[in-house]
Amino acid sequence: MRNCNLLLFDLDGTLLRSDKTISPRTLSALKKAREKGILIGVSTSRSE
């Protein structure tokens, strides 16, 4: 497996649930990634 240095996510339906919150499970996974030095970003096609 290759090393991962960056994770990019869409928001709606990926990071955010239908009520626009992040689940505890997702938040925990993001925190673990950050602890390993992985950068986290948002990639969206929205123009707003």
Residue pLDDT, tens place only, 10-36? 888 888 899 999 999 999 999 999 999
Backbone angles phi, psi at 24, to 5 degrees: -55, -35
Residue 33 lies in a domain: yes
Q: Is the pLDDT of residue 48 over 70?
A: no
Residue 28 lies in a domain: yes
Residue 1 lies in a domain: no
Give the pLDDT confidence score for residue 47 in this predicted structure: 66
pTM of the model: 0.75
Residue 47 lies in a domain: no
Residue 26 lies in a domain: yes
Residue 20 lies in a domain: yes
Say how many domains are in the chain.
Answer: 1
Q: Which domain holds residue 17?
A: 6-42
DSSP one-letter code for 41: E
- Cβ distance 10 to 41 under 8 Å? no
Residue 14 lies in a domain: yes
Residue 48 lies in a domain: no
Q: Is the pLDDT of residue 46 over 90?
A: no
Give the pLDDT confidence score for residue 1 in this predicted structure: 53
